[in-house]
Structure 1
């Protein structure tokens, strides 16, 4: 390892953040860089799956409520930043010192998840050039960098009568699409976004985004303008560029569901998954179940343990719906190998929370979406899916079993669904061109590596 240039990486300890950070680490290794991943003990990544990476565990001390599955998400992120800034700084300094001794490779820079605002500032203070990795979309980062302006110009807080109006500074987003976390204090949400904004503007030398220029060109340009010309590297979709297997995180996938798909005709199955973190009310879950039953569409449904508010176990289907399991039309699993599922020819639609990883994976397989955003950036992504790219439908403000069944049938067997499917296939072709040899994603990665190698840490 001596003589290699080393990149230090620090993922935020949520599955949806860890996966793209490790994808980027794999891509950097393929280009000749050594990578050290500093990580929390909380939700630690599986080091055994990545033997080419060096893992350094921090010894953070977290408040008890941080690990609670029902914790307030915004408070959780704020507390993680408070608790992990000092341990991260200590770990980063240790890695940098070892590199200077020539034993593990000289540190070129750090790549830190954009939600770690405290760690981004700490790395800059130590003297390590730091890039912020955004595991969300460029549209989301553009919104966050405009957040203070939206308040000063009176667009925020959202006025009820303007929820359906487009907000010009972040067009095509409407008032209802603004980032929110239901149940969290609005001022704490504002505080968190302001801290992320400040760290990105004052401490990061550039931004890496898991997206591709063809779908977010204007948003990338807006971010560069906000950051006064600092580079924005659109290196996605990264999951299509790596050889490493899918990261399954905290839940073991039911591999039998792929075999179940084999028995179905092309584009006949609806895949339903609301991601690894989102929790919904029991009433919403029941309406989903009855709506799926009423649609008549074959369904593969991920029902994650603790995904229902107030229930730490796997939720049971409403009484009277066991017949849909008996006849095999709906298969319920606790987790699925999502990329394999979306790539399966039997899958014709994806009912999704519109997390960015899921959105990208669906785009790359040409699968149209039913959007049910739950919190955070998901409302932003849902708006782009349904309005900007025209590859999905959104549920209206009224969510009941009849409307669920209607939306499912529209997507899967209706004429409108056929149009969405055709547009989705078009985006898939663009994504495939992007990751092909000589494509835009590889060129962006090459530019990123060249940029990283232009720095030298002198601490």
Structure 2
């Protein structure tokens, strides 16, 4: 990974960053903060107490908790007991957070010279707050450009009646989406919308609208991966876009909300190159016990060595591995609760990644040239899975549920398919070239720093 050093002294310029409090959103925002710090900017992180980052890992940043500091507030009590997977918190804070955020920003503007605010795109209410303070707001979008373009097309999909289809209308569900022929109609349904006017649809619509109103968009991606999508974005959303592959600059280990197991590394170090399957379905996904057992049987039946991340709470109704018979895995695999994922993917023993196709995991795999088996659940995951399997062709989709025979077959195919492996290797090489002087990533990062420096410093 690139050794980041301070290149320009912007210490009199402060950037305020406001991540969404979920692992897949915290990681890229804190990686971005580190990158901007390395460019010489001072960094302040606003955060909720819910899923607060480990501030001791970032002594070079200033942290300030906002929005959920008064749990007795009746607006927040109905979500106080909700778990990691609940996005009700996002909807609620978008609805009620403006006044409190404005007060916090006014204090920060009085205390120091602020260049801009960078928020997660899903904090769409922050655009009106920034506008009221004449403070430039950039957004970090933690999904792909391809996914964002699809989110922007939700009104079109609604007009076409896609969201009204039911699971028993199989022929229609298997049809291609006319505007995005790499997708099937069932992928649109898996995004999780009932219509453009339901709670999720309205939130995404507001996110798209306020992203278009922002001063710029920062993407965890590269031009070489999504060039056609970048051209569409620049046409439809005429604000500056900056594509930066965060995993190639810094790891996300320090922002992990879960403790990371490293005890398996001595075992991994002894495995031959490209011989181990890495399996992880992210920080939020849950499965039924019967599906968990199908996954376990598929892994063992594949006869491939594996590292399997089973997060506590991953199996509905179980604390951890209670449904699995003792000794079932044997010596062919290791089951752990959480790992430093980027470090695992970069290990030469890893031959493939079986993933839920969240964008962070997908892009980290691309960055390390690791082929993928995609088992998407909802949201952007089905879209990422199709892009990987149908556009870049560096992975395959498992789309017919959890069947041990299909699982074992997919594992064997991806672990042994040299064409998929070669395509993944070539894509990684393109990414690596983009990092050197004159490359797209190098220039995008310099452009972002210069753009932020062009804003007049704000103080009150």
Question: TM-score with structure 1 length normalisation?
Answer: 0.90
For residue 322 of structure 2, the aligned residue among 308, 316, 325 is 316
State the alpha-carbon separation in 1 of the partners of residues 123 and 48 from structure 2. 12
1:392-418 CA distance string (max 9 Å, x none)? 1111324311111111111223xxx22
Q: Does 1:221 align with 2:228?
A: no
State the alpha-carbon separation in 2 of the partners of residues 13 and 316 from structure 1. 29
Q: Rate the CA distance shift 1:233–1:79 in 2: closer, same or farther, 3 A.
A: same
Q: Rate the CA distance shift 1:164–1:184 in 2: closer, same or farther, 3 A.
A: closer
For residue 138 of structure 1, the aligned residue among 137, 140, 145 is 145
1:212-271 CA distance string (max 9 Å, x none)? 0001111122122222x2111112x112123x6623522111101222211211111111
Structure 1 segment 274-289 matched on structure 2, within 5 A: 274-289=281-296
For residue 413 of structure 2, the aligned residue among 384, 395, 410 is 410
Is the CA contact (8 Å cut-off) linking 1:42 and 1:67 kept in structure 2? no
Deviation, 1:284, is 1.4
Q: Which residue of 2 aligns with 1:115?
A: 122
Is the CA contact (8 Å cut-off) linking 2:388 and 2:394 kept in structure 1? yes
For residue 377 of structure 2, the aligned residue among 374, 377, 384 is 374
1:312-339 CA distance string (max 9 Å, x none)? x2142433xx3343x3112100001111
Q: Rate the CA distance shift 1:296–1:68 in 2: closer, same or farther, 3 A.
A: farther
Aligned CA-pair RMSD: 2.3
Q: Rate the CA distance shift 1:324–1:387 in 2: closer, same or farther, 3 A.
A: same
Deviation, 1:79, is 2.2
Is the CA contact (8 Å cut-off) linking 1:353 and 1:378 kept in structure 2? yes
For residue 254 of structure 1, the aligned residue among 245, 261, 272 is 261
State the alpha-carbon separation in 2 of the partners of residues 291 and 66 from structure 1. 37
Is the CA contact (8 Å cut-off) linking 1:295 and 1:405 kept in structure 2? yes
Q: Which residue of 1 aligns with 2:90?
A: 77
Q: Which residue of 1 aligns with 2:241?
A: 232
For residue 124 of structure 1, the aligned residue among 108, 116, 131 is 131
For residue 188 of structure 1, the aligned residue among 199, 214, 235 is 199
1:107-145 CA distance string (max 9 Å, x none)? 111111001111233222222110111011111111112
Q: Rate the CA distance shift 1:35–1:400 in 2: closer, same or farther, 3 A.
A: same
Is the CA contact (8 Å cut-off) linking 1:267 and 1:348 kept in structure 2? yes
Q: Which residue of 2 aligns with 1:446?
A: 446
State the alpha-carbon separation in 1 of the partners of residues 22 and 445 from structure 2. 24
For residue 362 of structure 1, the aligned residue among 355, 358, 365 is 365
- Note the residue ranges of structure 1 that are not aligned, 5 or more in a row: 100-105
Q: Rate the CA distance shift 1:86–1:315 in 2: closer, same or farther, 3 A.
A: farther
Q: Does 1:175 align with 2:188?
A: no
Is the CA contact (8 Å cut-off) linking 2:191 and 2:382 kept in structure 1? no
Q: Which has the higher helix share?
A: 1
Q: Does 1:14 align with 2:41?
A: no
Is the CA contact (8 Å cut-off) linking 2:279 and 2:309 kept in structure 1? yes
Q: Rate the CA distance shift 1:424–1:26 in 2: closer, same or farther, 3 A.
A: same
Q: Secondary structure at the match of 1:172?
A: strand
Structure 1 segment 97-116 matched on structure 2, within 5 A: 97-99=110-112, 106-116=113-123
Aligned length: 442
Q: Rate the CA distance shift 1:168–1:402 in 2: closer, same or farther, 3 A.
A: same
- Note the residue ranges of structure 2 that are not aligned, 5 or more in a row: 1-8
State the alpha-carbon separation in 2 of the partners of residues 255 and 85 from structure 1. 42
Q: Which residue of 2 aligns with 1:103?
A: none
Q: Secondary structure at the match of 1:112?
A: strand
1:424-449 CA distance string (max 9 Å, x none)? 11111111112234422121011112
